[in-house]
Homo-oligomer: A and B are copies of this chain.
Amino acid sequence: MNRRDMLKLSSYVVAAASAPAVVASAEAPGAAGGSIARWDFVEIDLPGPSSGNPYIDIEVSATFRYQHRAIHVNGFYDGEGSYKIRFMPDEVGAWNWTTASNAQALDGKTGTFECVAQAAGNRGPVEVRDSFHFGYADGTPFVECGTTCYAWAFQAEQTQRETIQTLTTSPFNKLRMCLFPKWYQYNRSEPPMYPFPRSGDVNDYSRFTPAYFQHLDHLILELRGIGVQADLILFHPYDKWGYQSMPPEVDDRYLRYVIARFSAFRNVWWSLANEFDLLKSKTNADWDRYARIVEEFDPSSHLRSIHYSRSPYDYSRGWCTHAGIQDSHMDRAAGWRIDWRKPVVFDECRYEGDIASRWGSLSGDGMTRRFWLTAAQGTYCGHGETYIWPDNILWWSHGGVLHGTSPKKIAFLRKLLEETIAVGPGPIGFTSIGEDPYGARRSNNSVLFYYFDDQQPAVQNYNLPEGKTYTAEYVDTIALTRTPLPGEYTGKVEVKLPGTPWGSLCFREKGVA
């Protein structure tokens, strides 16, 4: 065994050993065999200098090569003399890599690995599909259905375990979470660790706390293991420690560090901020710079967006892949689709709960309604939950368990969407009809889908697309019933409906959808 082989082997062994249990058991591809599943990640772990300040002094990267492609990937220092370079291969076949560093011990190392087909359940990262929608890299539609546990990473271990358990049986397939600890109402405790070494009130921004970020590795991979996208919030204003107003060079180093650590995890999304406009010390130029850094340093090009409070962001900007808005005017969705030509996600439209704040006292049916309103405009909604609960554990920020009535109803909607309008393979584009009763359809007209909101028509007339025969299903979005309507529908049709509010109607082309 020559030195190159040793390196290669050690990197896989380390990768497998350091990966959390969920990953290891779910897919952990042959550390022994020198192969890695597509959309899993390799981790090159190199011993190097631990003296001086490795975070600043040492640069390490690798170029990963597959046939004609060469992909540059930055590594990061993980403490105790350990330098890591992580990479998510996206092609099955033979890959090789070469490192580069200003430290001799890390420079010019090489290796190879075989990327093999992914196992069931690994669908790859989520991407934009058909302009307005999302899909996994393997082609499966991704019906975005998000929730928030902003500060779950900083809660008691038991709560973190509960959060994963809750998500396992919830309809939510994306979780917004902060990388920095949170200080806000209901969030008034010190985190168990700090991202930078901290002495009293002083942060040592020249270094990171490896254990802090290793813990985040673990949580993101836990989410990966249960099929939940981790929508990572890079900056936020709910802060008492100084992370909202660090020097620019620290911001940038922090961004490069978390990108190097997390971008090999296929379930990562980047959210530049929660309520960016409340970070008063940052300018538009700062946000532009952060966006460029995320674009430039993430070799896997994960989805990117930003979330605002009162100043709507211009989501037509080139760097962002989708709109991640905060608004509760759900009827604006269709217009924004037209404006931005991107997926529109209402990452925040208030939360189901009963707290005093208006953003956290939405009824369960009010939350559910917002999901229907967005779905019927070919857009997406986000959930959160703020019921006052013993020990002040509110799902919205802490995770734990869900108490509300909307998740069950949202699950019903997601299942309906996945079975109808988003069914694959084939085009999954919604086409908003642009006026209510809110209506969407698949671009090939194989599915037409309407939501009646607080309207209660006893009859509706449709002029169905030519040359197609449809079956119809009436959906009660509150009672959670799906009732096939008798007969078949072609051309101009009159459909009798129950004349009750909160209904939906779905036409499916016979023999197709």
A456 neighbours in B (Cβ, 8 Å)? 353-354, 361-363, 366
CB contact list, A355-405 vs B, under 8 A = 355-358, 361-363, 365-366, 369, 388
Q: Which B residues are CB-close (under 8 A) to A329? A: 331
Q: Tell me if A47 counts as interface (CB < 8 A to partner B).
A: no
Given contacts A329-B331, A331-B329, A461-B356, contact A455 B362 (CB under 8 A): yes
Q: A358, A461, A501 — which one has the most chain B CB atoms within 10 A of its CB?
A: A358
B residues in contact with A459, CB < 8 Å? 354-356, 388
Question: Are A358 and B437 in contact, with the CB atoms below 8 A?
Answer: yes
Inter-chain contact A499/B369, CB cutoff 8 Å: no
Tell me if A288 is interfacial: C-beta within 8 Å of chain B.
no
- In the bound complex, residues from chain B placing their C-beta under 8 Å from that of A437 are 358
B358→A455 contact, CB < 8 A = yes
Within the complex, which residue of B357, B369, B454, B457 is in contact with A369, where a contact is CB–CB below 8 Å? B454
Within 8 Å CB of A458, what residues of B?
Answer: 354-355, 361, 388
Question: Chain B: which residue is nearest A454 at the CB level?
Answer: B366
Instruction: Give the complex CA separation of A461 and B452 in angstroms.
Output: 35
Q: Give Cα A357–Cα B436 distance, bound, in whole angstroms.
A: 10
Interface size on A, residues (CB 8 A): 32
Is there a chain B Cβ closer than 8 Å to A460's Cβ? yes
A460:B356 contact, CB within 8 angstroms: yes
How far does the alpha carbon of A252 sit from the alpha carbon of B361 in the complex, in Å?
Answer: 55
Known: A329-B331, A366-B455. A354 touches B388 (CB 8 A): no
Partner of A454, one of B357, B362, B501: B362
Residue among B353, B369, B436, B500 making CB contact with A358, cutoff 8 Å: B436
Scan A456-486; emit 1 where CB is below 8 A from any B CB, else 0. 1111110000000000000000000000000
Partner of A457, one of B354, B365, B455, B457: B354
Interface of A, secondary structure class, is loop
Contacts of A388 in B (CB 8 A): 458-459
Residue of B nearest to A456 (CB): B363
Residue contact B454 to A355, C-beta cutoff 8 Å: no
List B contacts of A500 (CB < 8 A): 363
How many copies of the shown chain assemble into the complex?
Answer: 2
Complex CA gap A132/B357 in Å reads: 29
Q: Which of A482-507 contact B (CB under 8 A)?
A: 494, 499-501
Q: Which residue of B lies closest to A438 (CB)?
A: B358
Contacts of A331 in B (CB 8 A): 329
**Cα of A452 to Cα of B357 in the assembled complex, Å:** 11
CB distance from A63 to the nearest CB of B (A): 54
Contacts known (A329-B331, A436-B358); A455 close to B499, Cβ less than 8 A:
no
In the complex, what distance in Å separates the CA atom of A28 from the CA atom of B431?
64
- Whether B501 pairs with A365 at a CB distance below 8 angstroms is yes
Q: Considering the chains assembled together, what is the distance between the CA atoms of A163 and B49 in angstroms?
A: 91
Minimal Cβ-Cβ distance residue in B for A458 = B354
Determine the residue in chain B with the shortest Cβ distance to A388.
Answer: B458
What residues of chain B lie closer than 8 Å to A355, measured between beta carbons?
Answer: 457-459
C-alpha spacing A362/B501, complex, angstroms: 8
In the complex, chain A residues 200-228 whose Cβ is within 8 Å of any chain B Cβ = none
Instruction: Compute how far the CA of A455 lies from the CA of B452 in the bound complex, rounded to whole angstroms.
Output: 20
Query: With A and B bound together, what is the CA distance between A494 and B456 in angstroms?
Result: 38
Interface residues as binary, A326-365 with B (CB distance below 8 Å gives 1, 0 otherwise): 0001010000000000000000001001111110011101
Measured CB to CB, the closest approach of chain B to A485, in angstroms, equals: 16
- A352 to chain B: closest residue by CB: B456
Q: Are B461 and A363 touching (Cβ within 8 A)?
A: no
* Nearest CB in chain B: distance from A483 CB, A: 18
Question: A361: which of B350, B366, B457 is its contact (CB, 8 Å)?
Answer: B457
Shortest C-beta distance, A300 to chain B (Å), equals: 40
B residues within 8 A CB of A494?
A: 356
Decide: B460 and A363 in contact? CB cutoff 8 A: no
**A208 vs B60: C-alpha distance when bound (angstroms):** 94
Knowing that A355-B459, A366-B455, A366-B501 touch, tell me 15 more A-B residue pairs with CB under 8 angstroms.
A353-B456, A354-B456, A354-B457, A354-B459, A356-B459, A357-B457, A358-B435, A358-B436, A358-B457, A362-B454, A362-B456, A363-B454, A363-B501, A365-B501, A366-B454
Question: 30 A-B pairs, CB-CB below 8 angstroms?
Answer: A350-B455, A353-B456, A354-B456, A354-B457, A354-B458, A354-B459, A355-B457, A355-B458, A355-B459, A356-B457, A356-B459, A356-B460, A356-B461, A356-B494, A357-B457, A358-B457, A361-B455, A361-B456, A361-B457, A361-B458, A362-B454, A362-B455, A362-B456, A363-B454, A363-B456, A365-B454, A366-B454, A366-B455, A388-B458, A388-B459
